């Protein structure tokens, strides 16, 4: 089966789902531009919470910070999920991302026995390499209420990164980690079940922050963070209530970083702390 794997279909997914509302309905595309863009369009037309858009291939897959998300056809799980968490204030929308990151880790463990790490802010790692990326987008009304949260997931299932030189060394797939191909459908249905369970706990008032932080790299490590405010090196102490990374700088100050890319210490570039004011 190798990198290609079996094709998914809306019928196969719907028949296999064990959820009540996540993945109902499912919109499946053999090829699309971006599941994220398709779902945004559907959300604007009133699509209901739980709507899933999933594709075997994306021509314009998007990552965080304007990057591309590249995955060979049928090699991955590429999907976007629609939530309408009107019970959350907009500054807590990141809890939906945490729920999905934890659900990815749950599903990977259930299907492969491997325990991934989470990496601040939004990645899922295996052996310090990227296994999955999450892109969360939020629409807020003029009354400052959440209208929708769309969580896009790219999970490397059967990708052969030896064929993708620009990603070799930084990314890993499940098949590479366990040495055999993985059937995507049971992994997807497990993942969606864990999303539903964890999101319902969130709706009932459970904050996923402490569980998310417990799995989180780089807490307790020396890191360099490339953020829009600048590049900072220091000790990753903890995360605060908003999900911001608290970084202790060499001068003893601790600063919160809301968004950025973490380089674990062994990857740190030469240039450091250029943005510290």
The site string for ligand BTN over 32-61 (x = CB under 6 A, - otherwise) reads --xxx---------------------x--x
Beta strand residue intervals within the chain, DSSP E? 26-32, 52-58, 76-83, 117-119, 123-126, 129-140, 146-156, 216-217, 222-227, 230-239, 245-248, 254-257, 260-264
Q: Read off the tokens for 129.
A: 């390499």
Identify the residue among 69, 120, 212, 232 touching ligand BTN (CB under 6 A).
Answer: 69
Handedness of CA 241, 139, 81, 75 (dihedral sign): negative
Stretch that binds ligand BTN, among 75-83, 90-98, 103-111, 235-243 (CB under 6 A): 75-83
Residue 206 binds ligand BTN (CB under 6 A): no
Identify the residue among 116, 133, 208, 218 touching ligand BTN (CB under 6 A).
Answer: 133
Handedness of CA 136, 212, 262, 124 (dihedral sign): negative
Residue 63 binds ligand BTN (CB under 6 A): yes
Pairing of strands 222-227, 129-140: unpaired
Identify the residue among 135, 174, 187, 195 touching ligand BTN (CB under 6 A).
Answer: 135
If one counts every other C-beta atom within 10 angstroms of the C-beta of residue 1, the result is 12
Identify the residue among 108, 125, 134, 172 touching ligand BTN (CB under 6 A).
Answer: 134
| Smaller CB separation from ligand BTN, 66 or 205 | 66
Pairing of strands 216-217, 117-119: parallel
> In the complex, which residues of this chain contact ligand BTN (CB under 6 A)?
34-36, 58, 61-64, 67, 69, 78-80, 123, 133-135, 152-154
């Amino acid at each position: 089966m190798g990198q290609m794997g079996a094709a998914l279909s809306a019928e196969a997914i719907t028949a296999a789902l064990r959820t009540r509302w996540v993945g109902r309905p499912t919109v499946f595309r053999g090829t699309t531009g971006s599941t994220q863009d398709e779902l945004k369009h559907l959300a604007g037309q009133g699509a209901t919470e739980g709507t899933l858009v999933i594709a075997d291939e994306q021509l314009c897959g998007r990552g965080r910070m304007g990057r591309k998300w590249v995955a060979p056809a049928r090699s991955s799980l590429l999907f976007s999920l629609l939530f309408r968490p009107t019970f959350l204030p907009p500054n807590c929308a990141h809890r939906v991302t945490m729920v999905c990151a934890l659900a990815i880790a749950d599903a990977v463990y259930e299907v492969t026995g491997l325990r991934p790490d989470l990496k601040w802010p939004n990645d899922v790692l295996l052996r310090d390499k990227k296994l999955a990326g999450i892109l969360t987008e939020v629409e807020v009304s003029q009354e400052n209420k959440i209208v929708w949260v769309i969580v896009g997931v790219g999970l490397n299932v059967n990708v052969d990164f030896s064929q993708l030189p620009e990603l070799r060394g930084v990314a890993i797939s499940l098949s590479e980690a366990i040495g055999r191909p993985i059937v995507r459908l049971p992994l997807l249905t497990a993942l969606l079940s864990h999303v539903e369970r964890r999101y319902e706990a969130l709706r009932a008032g459970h904050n996923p922050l402490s569980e998310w932080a417990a799995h989180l790299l780089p807490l307790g490590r020396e890191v360099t963070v490339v953020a829009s405010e600048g590049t900072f090196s220091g000790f990753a102490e903890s995360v605060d209530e908003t999900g911001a990374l608290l970084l202790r700088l060499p001068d003893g100050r601790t600063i919160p970083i809301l968004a950025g890319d973490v380089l674990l210490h062994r990857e740190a570039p030469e240039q450091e702390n250029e943005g510290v004011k």
